[in-house]
Amino acid sequence: MSVKRIAIVTGGGDCPGLNAVIRAATTTAIREHGIDVVGIEDGFLGLVEPRVRLMPLDLERVRDILPKGGTILGTTNRGKPFGYPVKQADGSVIYEDRSKLMLQRLEDLGIDAIVMIGGDGTMAIAQRLREMGVQVVGVPKTIDNDLSVTDYTFGFDTACNIAMEALDRLHTTAYSHDRAMFVEVMGRHAGWIAMHAGLAAGADVILLPEIPYRVDSVVAKIRERQARGVTFSIIVVAEGAVPQDGEISMMQDKYTSRQRLGGAAHRIADAVCDQIDLEVRVTVLGHIQRGGTPSHFDRVLGTRFGHAAAQLVADGEFGRMVTLSGLEVRDCDIQDAINKPNLVDPNGQMVQAARALGVCMGD
Ligand code: F6P
């Protein structure tokens, strides 16, 4: 059966380049294949809440969105079709499976396939929907770059550029004031942003989740630089960085009461500050890394991914996720993308290069 109408959904946290994918997938579907396109609003919420919320996508609607950060469709990392949170009278929350409602609505709306743009959580949902018979195509998105099979996810390059620029700026104030600057970057359990931004900005210490650190090692590096007359240091801390004798740093979000990653840079700064003869400052970059206009790389990657996803739909190739392999856009089975995360290799070339340049990796 040929596809006449598709839906596009953006799930999980936003990231730069989502609109490039939406634009390219919509334009390819309409211009090349005569397929009608709608967007589902706010992740899957637009299909599982009492009122259906769809955004018609045509050439006019996707014009001018290429450089725009975020997603015109809205997104959420809650409201999964298999676990929709419903607040009870006593304030507690129960999670309802609304996947059957969603399937019914897809049928009623004449939607033949869904292009799902998201990270590992969204791809896991895509896999489950696929097992229920939904025709899905995945597009990998995340600033964390932690999805395997694809060499890069879009959003990662922009996040690294933002982190790099922040590190450059902190560098000039660090040397002016003789300070040790601890800078926390995002990435969840993968150290890709810390590794790339740290290397690009010439950091002195880079702490990754993949290489558990010792406080002594960080202290020794800062002291060694001071002994050489360099009276400042830049320490990049991945939010998932973990001490050799400790756990990942989690905190309860003050506003939502949910647990989330946080506190890694303050923890190491607290442990180091009494042992060095430099003033210490901590900067947590946070969501700045996810905001704003996509880099050239992410615009091109998003555009290529969006085009390839629409092409897969038109070819009837469902259950696939588009990937970047070297310089080529290819595709893989969605299941392969969620089998294991993509992490920095502690013995890989990047870490070796950093060590050779004298960067302390914390071990
Ligand atoms: O997965 C992307 C990411 O930005 C992570 O790097 C970070 O830990 C998390 O999302 C933050 O999530 P939230 O936007 O819910 O605070």
Residue 335 inside a domain? The answer is no
Mean pLDDT of the chain: 97
pLDDT in tens, 120-148: 999 999 999 999 999 999 999 999 999 99
- Are 171 and 257 part of one and the same domain? yes
**Residue 243 CA to ligand 1 centre (angstroms):** 21
Q: When comparing pLDDT for 106 and 80, which is higher?
A: 106
Any idea of the CA torsion for 344, 181, 170, 253, to the nearest 10 degrees? 70
Query: Quick one: which of 135, 130, 123 has its CA closest to 322?
Result: 123
- Here the tokens at position 349 are 């070339």
Q: Which two tokens stand for residue 99?
A: 């996947």
> Residue 91 pLDDT > 90, yes or no?
no
Protein residue whose Cα sits closest to atom 14 of ligand 1: 13
pLDDT at 78: 82
Q: Ligand 1 mean position to 12 CA, how many Å?
A: 9
Dist. CA 120–CA 339, nearest whole Å = 9
Domain presence at residue 107:
yes
Atom of ligand 1 nearest to the CA of 187: 6
Ligand 1 in reach of 188 Cβ (< 6 A): yes
DSSP for 26-48 reads HHHHHHHH--EEEEESTTTHHHH
* Domain span at 229: 158-290+345-356
Is 362 a member of any domain? no
Please indicate, yes or no, whether residues 314 and 167 belong to a single structural domain of this protein: no
Pair (125, 165) in one structural domain: no
In terms of domains, do 191 and 91 share one? no
Query: Are the C-beta atoms of 234 and 167 separated by less than 8 Å?
Result: yes
| Ligand 1 pocket member 186 (CB < 6 A) | yes
Ligand 1 center to residue 252 CA distance, Å? 14
> Does residue 144 line the site of ligand 1, with CB under 6 A?
yes
CA atoms within 13 A on the CB side of 147: 34
Q: How far apart are CA 168 and CA 357, in angstroms?
A: 18
Atom of ligand 1 nearest to the CA of 287: 4
User: What is the CATH number for 81?
Assistant: 3.40.50.450
| pLDDT on residue 77 | 86
Domain check: are 182 and 231 in the same one?
yes
Q: Whose CA is closest to 205, among 176, 249, 174?
A: 174
Q: Is 147 in the pocket of ligand 1 (CB under 6 A)?
A: no
> How many domains, in total, are found in the chain?
2
Residues 129 and 30 in one domain: yes
User: pTM, whole model, 2 decimals?
Assistant: 0.97
Q: List Cα–Cα distances, 128 to 38, 79, 100, 125, 136, in angstroms.
A: 22, 15, 12, 5, 10
Atom of ligand 1 nearest to the CA of 143: 2
Q: Residue 273 domain-assigned?
A: yes
Three-state DSSP at 357 gives: coil
Query: Does the annotation count 36 as an active-site position?
Result: no
Which pLDDT value is given to residue 20? 98
Decide: 265 and 284 in contact? Cβ < 8 Å.
yes
Strand partners, 85: 95
> What's 255's domain CATH number?
3.40.50.460
**Residue range 333-352, pLDDT digits in tens:** 999 999 899 999 999 999 99
201 plus 349 within the same structural domain: yes
Band of residue 42 on the pLDDT scale cut at 50, 70, 90: very high
